[in-house]
Structure 1
Amino acid sequence: MESKNLIYIYGVNPVEEAFKESNVIKEIYVSRDRAQRLSNILELAEKNSIPVKLVDKFFLDKTVNGVHQGIVAKVKSKKTISIEDALIIPEKRNEPALFLILDLIEDPQNFGAILRVADATGVHAVFYQKKRSAGLVPSVWKTSAGAIWHVNLVEVNNIKYAIRELKENDIAVIATDAKEGDILWNFDFKKPVAIVLGSEGKGVRHTVGKLSNLLLKIPMKGKISSLNVSTAAAVILFEAVRQRSLLVK
Structure 2
Amino acid sequence: MEREHQIFGIRAIIEAIQAGTEIDKVFLQKDAQGDLMKELMQTMKKNNVNFSYVPVEKLNRLTSKNHQGAVATISPISFHNLEDLVTNVIESGKKPLFLILDQLSDARNFGAIIRTAECTGVNGIIIQKQGAAPVNGDTVKTSAGAVFNIPICKVDHIKDAVFFLQASDIKTVAATEKTDNLIYDIDFNQGIAIIMGSEDRGVNPSVLKIVDEKAKLPMHGTIESLNVSVACGAFLYEALRQRL
On whether the aligned pair clears a TM of 0.5, the verdict is yes
CA 202–89 in structure 1, closer or farther in 2 if over 3 Å, else same: same
TM-superposed CA distance for 1:179, in Å, is 4.3
The separation in 2 between residues aligned to 1:6 and 1:166, in whole angstroms, is 25
Q: 2:232 matched to which residue of 1?
A: 233
Say if 2:85 is the partner of 1:82: no
Q: In structure 1, what is the Cα distance between the partners aligned to 2:219 and 2:228?
A: 14
C-alpha separation in 2, matches of 1:203 and 1:122: 24
Give the letter aligned to residue 178 of structure 1. E
Alignment of 1:154-233 (within 5 A): 154-233=153-232
> Would the aligned equivalents of 2:115 and 2:144 in 1 still touch at CA under 8 Å?
yes
Deviations 1:198-240 (A, max 9, x none): 0000100100111111110011111111111000110000110
Partner deviation per Cα, 1:78-127 (whole Å, 9 max, x = no partner): 11111112213433543211000000000111111110111010100000
Per the alignment, residue 93 of structure 2 pairs with 94
In structure 1, C-alpha distance between the alignment counterparts of 2:228 and 2:208, rounded to whole Å? 16
Cα shift readout 1:26-62 (whole Å, capped 9, x = no counterpart): xxxxxxxxxxxxxxxxxxxxxxxxxxxxxxxxxxxx8
| CA distance in 2 between partners of 1:230 and 1:124 (Å) | 18
Q: Matched residues in 2 for 1:93 and 1:237: separation?
A: 21
Deviations 1:145-166, CA, capped at 9 Å, x for gaps: 1110001100111111111111
Matching residue of 1:42: none
Q: Return closer, same or farther for 1:122/1:93 CA change in 2, 3 Å cut-off.
A: farther
C-alpha separation in 2, matches of 1:144 and 1:221 = 29
What is the one-letter code of the residue matched to 1:158?
A: H
CA contact (8 A) 1:181 1:214 kept: no
- Structure 1, unmatched stretches of 5+, are 8-61, 65-74
2:28 alignment counterpart: none
Distance 2:135 2:75 in 1: 12
Q: Please tell me whether residue 243 in structure 1 is matched to residue 242 in structure 2.
A: yes
Paired with 2:213 and 2:114, the residues of 1 have a C-alpha distance of 23
Q: Gaps spanning 5+ residues in structure 2: where?
A: 8-15, 24-60, 64-73
C-alpha contact 2:172 2:192 (8 A) present in aligned 1: yes
What is the aligned-residue identity percentage? 36
**One-letter amino acid of the structure 2 residue matched with residue 83 of structure 1:** L
CA–CA distance in 2 between the matches of 1:89 and 1:122? 15
**Structure 2 vs 1, CA of residues 6 and 174 (structure 1 numbering), >3 Å: closer, same or farther?**
closer
Note the C-alpha offset of 1:189.
0.5
Which residue does 1:116 correspond to in 2? 115
Q: How many residues align?
A: 181
- Contact kept in structure 1, 2:76 and 2:136, CA below 8 Å: no
The alpha-carbon deviation at position 130 of structure 1 amounts to: 0.8
Deviates more, 1:81-90 or 1:187-196: 81-90
- Write the deviation string for residues 148-202 of structure 1: whole angstroms up to 9, x where unpaired: 0001100111111111111111111111112424110111101111000000001
* TM-score, normalising length: structure 2: 0.69
**Quick one: distance in 2 between partners of 1:154 and 1:181?**
31
Report deviation, 1:6.
Answer: 8.0
Q: Is the 8 A contact 1:112 1:143 kept in 2?
A: yes
